[in-house]
């Protein structure tokens, strides 16, 4: 998710500079989609293999370990984004001395925080594992995994500076290439370890080695891409501490709150209901996150485009951009999440071989929460275009309070009650950010979204109806339930694909200009000209 920041208004660029910047942004966007696709794809492949070897409960524990690792990786979220801004500014004004001071001073503070925080976590990992509700059969492996990750994350947090130097030097594509490489290598290594009978601790060691490999690659890339920026103790100075606390601190706060927020529900479910329901929740959230991958790729372009329009001072253009952004979000979230709600149990059976009865209602509720989250996060991104950073943090605090209240009464509420609490928290966050948008951009009102919403809902209903009709076509008797589910899912997808374009056109969910844009993306120039003509 994007981090809070003030969007600097830059001086006009020459055509040559603009073309160079457009090329850089385009290159980084493409590699970003590839890296995100690799991450989602490898997890979709490895998850059923993990479940086959460790069971649904084992995968639930692994998801808790990964959540714990997200806590430990605090150096690679907010502060890294601030470092990237400092380095990027230095490439524009050539004030590398200031960048060296900011990055070096920030790293001294970050390393001190890492040692003081992560070393105790490594020492007291058995206490943390038991407090999280880890079952006895997984306790030893979980304890060793947390300790190993805590130690390696000290180095990983230090490496955040070098990743920021490469990214700030306008070579974000390198970082994403490294990330893709290690993501694929990590998945192959985990599958191999499971094949030879290894478990959670081996998987955690592989994850730790992958983190270390990324740090090493970024270190050498930073020295080559931007040797003027150096991380040294001698550059650390108190004179920039105020700037780091003001700017980098705001980045860090919102990201730490987000990590805290996403960890409340899985830990609450593990403590209250055990490893099996935790595995069910982990699979449902992973499926929903994968479905929203394409939408997440549009967040940064929306932020960049919004910053340009806002800086130009055109109120009407900003209003149109907000409406367009919400329409894109609805289109990219509504159909995939509705599809999972309708056919999710078949997807899970074909994907993982699991047929737990909790999946049906659980998927429906988590998809609803994901839909609310999509609009909430978009509102946050658009709000930050204005340079403000108060209401989004209030939103985060409200959501955390709601989920903590739900976690306290988790056993009384039951598994589905906790999930409904998650949906309620996301709904409140969405309403609050809509309020923030209307308060910040007075020309926008949510009523402007009503017409597009009705059209997209009608189109989605028609597409899902076609999928349900295709699902009713009989198949020959097959003994394997998983294979049968895969074939059934294939029929549903084919029916939805056939109906998608007619449904969008007939409901007028897509305009002629948007049709031409889509044709421009997917068709060659010759075919595009013939279609337009």
pLDDT, residue 29, reads 53
CA pair distance 464, 496, nearest whole angstrom: 6
Other residues' Cβ atoms within 10 Å of the Cβ of residue 285? 20
**Joined tokens for residue 36:** 């995100």
Average pLDDT, the chain: 81
Contact 469, 416 (CB under 8 A): no
Is residue 204 within 8 A of residue 145, CB to CB? The reply is yes
CB burial class (10 A; 0-12, 13-18, 19+) of residue 41? middle
Percentage above 90 pLDDT, the chain: 31
Q: How far is the CA of 318 from the CAs of 170, 396, 397, in angstroms?
A: 27, 25, 28
The CA–CA distances, whole Å, from 19 to 11, 142, 353, 396, 517 equal: 15, 50, 49, 38, 20
Cβ–Cβ < 8 Å for 252, 74: yes
pLDDT: which is higher, 178 or 528: 178
**Where are the domains positioned within the chain?**
22-229+236-255, 292-526
Query: Max alpha carbon distance in the chain (Å)?
Result: 75
Predicted pLDDT at 6: 36
Whole-number Cα distances in Å, 148 to 53, 125, 512, 533: 22, 10, 55, 62
For residues 205 and 314, the model is more confident at 205
Predicted TM-score (pTM) of this structure: 0.76
List CB contacts of 402: < 8 A, sequence separation 6 or more: 421, 424, 425, 428
3-state secondary structure 414-433: HHHHHHHHHHHHHHHHHHHH
More confident residue, 388 or 289: 289
pLDDT of amino acid 253: 73
Q: How far apart are CA 192 and CA 197, in angstroms?
A: 9
Give the pLDDT confidence of 167-206 residue by residue, as tens digits: 778 777 788 888 888 989 999 999 999 999 998 999 999 9
> Mean pLDDT throughout 394-411?
92
CB burial of residue 298 (10 Å; 0-12, 13-18, 19+): middle
CA distance 491 to 486: 9
Kindly report the length of the chain.
533
289, pLDDT greater than 90: no
Helix (H, G, I), strand (E, B) or coil at 444: coil
Identify the pLDDT of residue 469: 94
Cα separation, 154 vs 46, in Å, equals: 27
What number of helices (H) and strands (E) belong to the chain?
20, 0
Cα–Cα–Cα angle for 36, 175, 520, rounded to 5 degrees:
50
Show contacts of 354-357: CB within 8 Å, 24+ apart. 354/51, 354/56, 354/283, 355/481, 356/56, 356/276, 356/280
- 219-228, 236-245, 356-365: segment of lowest average pLDDT: 236-245
- Mean per-residue pLDDT for 477-494? 90
Q: What whole-number distance in Å separates Cα of residue 313 and Cα of residue 383?
A: 15
For residue 18, name the pLDDT band (cuts at 50, 70, 90).
very low
Vertex 419, ends 415 and 422: CA angle to 5°?
A: 145
The CB density around residue 278, as the number of other CB atoms within 10 Å, is 31
Which 3-state string (H, E, C) describes 293-306? Answer: HHHHCCHHHHHHHH
Query: For residue 91, what are the contacts with CB-CB under 8 A and spacing of at least 6?
Result: 168, 169, 170, 226
């Amino acid at each position: 998710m994007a981090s809070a920041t003030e969007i600097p208004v830059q001086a006009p660029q020459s055509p040559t500079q603009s073309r160079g910047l457009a090329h850089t942004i385009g290159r980084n966007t493409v590699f970003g989609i590839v890296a995100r696709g690799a991450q989602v794809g490898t997890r979709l492949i490895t998850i059923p293999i993990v479940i086959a070897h460790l069971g649904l409960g084992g995968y639930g524990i692994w998801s808790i370990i990964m959540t714990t690792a997200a806590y430990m990786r605090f150096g690679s979220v907010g502060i890294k984004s601030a470092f990237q801004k400092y380095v990027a500014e230095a490439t524009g004004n050539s004030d590398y001395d200031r960048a060296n001071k900011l990055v070096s001073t920030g790293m001294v503070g970050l390393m001190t925080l890492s040692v003081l925080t992560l070393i105790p976590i490594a020492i007291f990992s058995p206490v943390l594992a038991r407090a999280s509700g880890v079952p006895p059969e997984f306790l030893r492996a979980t304890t060793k995994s947390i300790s190993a990750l805590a130690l390696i994350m000290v180095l990983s947090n230090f490496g955040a500076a070098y990743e920021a130097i490469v990214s700030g030097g306008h070579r974000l594509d390198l970082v994403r290439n490294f990330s893709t490489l290690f993501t694929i290598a990590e998945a192959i290594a985990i599958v191999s370890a499971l094949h030879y009978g290894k478990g959670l601790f081996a998987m955690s060691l592989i994850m730790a080695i992958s983190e270390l490999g990324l740090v090493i690659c970024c270190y050498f890339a930073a020295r080559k891409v931007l040797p003027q920026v150096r991380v040294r103790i001698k550059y650390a100075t108190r004179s920039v501490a105020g700037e780091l606390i003001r700017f980098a601190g705001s980045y860090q706060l919102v990201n730490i709150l987000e990590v805290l927020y996403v960890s409340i529900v899985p830990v609450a479910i593990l403590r209250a209901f055990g490893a099996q329901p935790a595995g069910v929740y982990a699979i449902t959230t992973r499926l929903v996150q994968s479905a929203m991958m394409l939408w997440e790729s549009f967040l940064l372009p929306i932020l960049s485009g919004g910053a340009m329009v806002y800086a130009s001072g055109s109120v009407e253009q900003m209003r149109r951009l907000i409406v367009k952004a919400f329409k894109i979000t609805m289109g990219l979230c509504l159909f995939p999440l509705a599809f999972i709600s309708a056919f999710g149990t078949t997807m899970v059976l074909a994907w993982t071989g699991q047929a737990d009865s909790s999946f049906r209602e659980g998927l429906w509720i988590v998809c609803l929460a994901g839909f609310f989250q999509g609009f909430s996060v978009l509102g946050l991104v658009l709000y930050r275009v204005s340079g403000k950073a108060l209401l989004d943090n209030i939103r985060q605090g409200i959501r955390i309070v709601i989920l903590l209240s739900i976690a306290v009464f988790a056993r009384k509420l039951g598994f589905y009650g906790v999930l409904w609490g998650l949906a309620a928290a996301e709904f409140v966050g969405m309403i609050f950010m809509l309020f923030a948008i209307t308060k910040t951009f007075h020309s926008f009102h949510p009523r402007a979204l009503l017409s597009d919403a009705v059209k997209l809902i009608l189109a989605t209903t028609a597409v899902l109806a076609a999928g349900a009709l295709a699902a009713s076509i009989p198949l020959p008797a097959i003994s394997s339930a998983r294979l049968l589910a895969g074939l059934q899912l294939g029929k549903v997808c084919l029916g939805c694909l056939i109906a998608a374009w007619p449904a969008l056109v007939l409901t007028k969910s897509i305009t002629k200009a948007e049709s031409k844009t889509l044709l421009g993306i997917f068709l060659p120039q010759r075919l595009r000209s013939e279609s337009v003509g």
